[in-house]
């Protein structure tokens, strides 16, 4: 589950412009726990006749006390500020009331999460044409920071990060407060886990054991995590019917996922969860925008079942049953006069058309997986395509159009199946035809899909 962000056609020029400029920048951030405020500065080592600063559209209402270290003036400029005759080595300084921002956001949420949790786009200003920055963050004793930024070697209460700039409307999430922190190392990458609040030792042990299991499941796609550093923010939200209530993947200023949980639930309740594997599965594809939501959510929904079966969180038979049930719900949720799938994807949040979009996309990935495996005798599937895309194209972050993504997968696999199926599915005004999923159909291919590379798995 994730917020659909800006369309790819807007984001590609943004990324190209930043890559061409590459101006270095340095943030210094100091957090005050008593007032829940952040003192910030941004220093640039290059002079400019006119330097512009901005965050997202909400930033002008969230930052205050902007000054230049030179004492020269600043001018409001649309959603940002402009500074004339910027000097090499000069710094912009400001203050942000993170507590106020976080509390306002919490009041709008049905999940009632507590803590200082913000989107940095609302208070962390960037200079125009700066593609990346390093940050030094000073925190009070006992206060932790969870951010999607890449950690650098640090000592004491001072933390260092590298931040890749992304478009301002790519959601990110930062939490500051008393949290339990740990790192889960897996082949290919690290999950930087922060558990909000003060879970008791038994709850913490249970949560970490669950996260280790789901991260193991993610590695069964092709043997490793696809990205080197991933923020995992676990937010307790009180007593709930399910152990995991909601999840969200984010791509702003790095890769992260947020999981809203009831930490009091037992280990068995967490073992039944599918949300964490779903959100981790979003790491395997690039940002595809609203037009490609059916591809992105379909892949994550397909993998949430396949990867759980491969890792033993489900049996293969249970995974096939979950897929069959989802396809039935997707078919029931598709109206007779449905818009083309790509249009439904664009309208998904406004029209709440999640079930049709998610499960139509899942049917696409199953169809492609079956095509590849039938052609290769079960040896090659979408895992191989995603692994090759990881090796060439997944980092650094950039937006991809759905067409460019599927065409690159075809090129990497020397096939036409991804784009051919994409052209078929994107215009569908009905739910896709799904192959029979009973155990008597394609037994060898079914087994190959639910088996990790080099592993063995039964249908029981």
How far apart, in whole angstroms, are the C-alpha atoms of residue 3 and residue 258?
A: 12
Same domain, 45 and 152: yes
Query: Token pair of 287, please?
Result: 């940002």
Domain assignment of residue 3, yes or no: no
- CA of residue 332 relative to chain centroid, distance: 29
Q: Which residue carries 């599965």 as its tokens?
A: 281
* First-residue to last-residue Cα distance in the chain: 30
Q: What is the pLDDT of residue 435?
A: 82
Query: Which residue among 259, 282, 305 closes a domain?
Result: 282
What DSSP element (H or E) covers 216? helix 201-219
Instruction: Tell me how many degrees the CA angle 377-378-384 measures, rounded to the nearest 5.
Output: 120
d(CA 396, CA 348): 28
Cβ neighbours of residue 205 closer than 8 Å, sequence gap 6 or more: none
How far is the C-alpha of 273 from the C-alpha of 247, rounded, in Å?
11
Tokens of 63: 């930052």
Note whether residue 215 is domain-resident. yes
- Per-residue pLDDT for the chain (460 aa), expressed as one digit of tens each? 333 333 323 333 444 444 445 567 999 999 999 999 999 999 999 999 999 999 999 999 999 999 999 999 999 999 999 999 999 999 999 999 999 999 998 888 777 677 899 999 999 999 998 999 999 999 999 999 999 999 999 877 799 999 999 998 899 999 999 999 999 999 999 999 999 988 899 999 999 999 999 999 999 999 999 999 999 999 998 889 999 999 999 999 999 999 999 999 999 999 999 999 999 999 999 999 999 999 999 999 999 999 999 999 999 999 999 999 999 999 999 999 899 999 999 999 999 999 999 999 999 999 999 999 999 988 999 999 999 999 999 988 889 999 999 999 999 999 999 999 999 999 999 999 998 776 666 788 999 999 987 544 434 4
User: Is 128 a domain residue?
Assistant: yes
Q: Are residues 277 and 292 in the same domain?
A: no
Residues 130 and 228 in one domain: yes
Query: Which residue, 220, 253, 282, sits at the end of a domain?
Result: 282
Question: Looking at the 3D structure of the chain, how many domains does it have?
Answer: 2
Query: Element (H or E) spanning 384, and its range?
Result: helix 382-393
Q: How would you classify the pairing of strands 229-236 and 189-196?
A: parallel
For residue 458, is it within any domain? no
Q: What are the Cα distances from residue 451, in Å, to 217, 378, 395, 445?
A: 12, 11, 27, 10
How many whole angstroms separate alpha carbon 250 and alpha carbon 266?
27
Strands 229-236 and 256-261: parallel
Phi, psi of 409 (to 5 degrees): -60, -45
Radius of gyration of the CA atoms of the chain, in A: 23
Q: Domain residues for 429? A: 285-449
Tokens 């739910």 locate to 431
Q: What is the CATH number of the domain that holds 232?
A: 2.60.40.3650
- Tell me how far apart the alpha carbons of residues 199 and 144 are, in angstroms, rounded to a whole number: 15
Is residue 197 located within the same domain as residue 327? no
Structural domain includes residue 213: yes
The closest of 307, 261, 258 to 284, measured between CA atoms, is 307
Residues 309 and 216 in one domain: no
Gap between the Cα atoms of 395 and 380, Å rounded: 23
CATH code (residue 296): 1.10.390
Burial of 286 (0-12, 13-18, 19+ CB in 10 A): buried
Is residue 239, in this structure, part of any structural domain at all? yes
Indicate whether 118 and 150 sit together in one domain. Answer: yes
Is residue 370 located within the same domain as residue 231? no
Model confidence, pTM? 0.91
Q: Which of 225, 257, 282 is the C-terminal boundary of a domain? A: 282
331 with 289, same domain: the answer is yes
Q: Are 166 and 133 in contact (CB under 8 A)?
A: no
Query: Domain for residue 229, yes or no?
Result: yes
> What is residue 196's predicted lDDT score, i.e. its pLDDT?
93
219 and 294 in a common domain: no
Length of the chain: 460
| 47, containing H or E segment | none
- Tell me the C-alpha distance between 97 and 421, whole Å: 49
Q: Return the residue matching tokens 């807007």.
A: 10
| Residues 258 and 337 reside in one and the same domain | no
Does residue 459 lie within any of the structural domains? no
Question: What are 60's two structure tokens?
Answer: 């002008």
Same domain, 115 and 200: yes
| 209/244 same-domain check | yes
């Amino acid at each position: 589950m994730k917020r659909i962000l800006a369309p790819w056609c807007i984001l590609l020029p943004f990324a190209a412009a930043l890559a061409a400029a590459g101006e270095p920048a340095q943030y210094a951030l100091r957090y005050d726990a008593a007032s829940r405020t952040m003192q910030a500065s941004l220093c640039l080592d290059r002079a400019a006749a006119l330097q512009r600063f901005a965050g997202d559209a909400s930033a002008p209402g969230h930052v205050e006390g902007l000054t230049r270290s030179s004492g020269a003036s600043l001018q409001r400029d649309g959603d940002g500020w402009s500074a004339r005759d910027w000097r090499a080595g000069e710094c912009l300084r400001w203050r942000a009331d993170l507590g106020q921002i976080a509390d306002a956001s919490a009041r709008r949420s049905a999940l009632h999460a507590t803590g200082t949790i913000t989107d940095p786009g609302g208070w962390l200003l960037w200079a125009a044409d700066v593609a990346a920055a390093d940050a030094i963050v000073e925190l009070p004793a006992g206060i932790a920071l969870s951010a999607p930024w890449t950690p650098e070697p640090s000592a004491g209460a001072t933390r260092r990060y590298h931040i890749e700039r992304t478009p301002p409307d790519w959601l990110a999430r930062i939490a500051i407060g008393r949290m339990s922190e740990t790192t889960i190392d897996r082949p290919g990458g690290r999950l930087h886990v922060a558990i909000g609040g003060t879970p008791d030792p038994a709850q913490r042990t249970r949560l970490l054991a669950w996260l280790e299991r789901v991260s193991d499941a993610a590695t069964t796609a092709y043997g490793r995590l696809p990205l080197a550093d991933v923020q995992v923010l676990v937010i307790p939200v009180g007593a709930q019917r399910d152990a995991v209530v909601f999840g969200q993947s984010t791509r702003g200023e790095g890769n992260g996922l947020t999981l809203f949980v009831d930490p009091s639930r037992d280990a068995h309740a967490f073992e039944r969860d599918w949300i964490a594997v779903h959100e981790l599965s979003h790491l395997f594809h690039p940002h595809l925008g609203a037009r490609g939501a059916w591809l992105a959510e379909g892949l994550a929904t397909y993998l949430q079942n396949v990867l759980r079966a491969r890792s033993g969180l489900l049996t293969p038979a249970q995974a096939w049953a979950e897929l069959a049930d989802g396809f039935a719900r997707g078919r029931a949720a598709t109206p007779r006069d449905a818009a083309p799938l790509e249009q439904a994807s664009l309208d998904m949040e406004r029209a709440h058309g999640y079930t049709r979009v998610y499960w139509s996309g899942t049917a696409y990935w199953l169809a492609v997986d079956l095509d590849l495996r039938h052609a290769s005798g079960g040896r090659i599937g979408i895992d191989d395509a995603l692994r090759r895309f990881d090796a060439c194209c997944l980092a650094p972050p950039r937006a991809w159009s759905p067409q460019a993504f599927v065409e690159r997968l075809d090129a990497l696999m020397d096939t036409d199946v991804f784009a051919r199926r994409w052209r078929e599915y994107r215009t569908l005004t009905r739910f896709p035809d799904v192959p029979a999923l009973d155990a008597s159909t394609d037994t060898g291919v079914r087994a190959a899909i639910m088996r990790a590379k080099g592993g063995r798995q039964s249908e029981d």
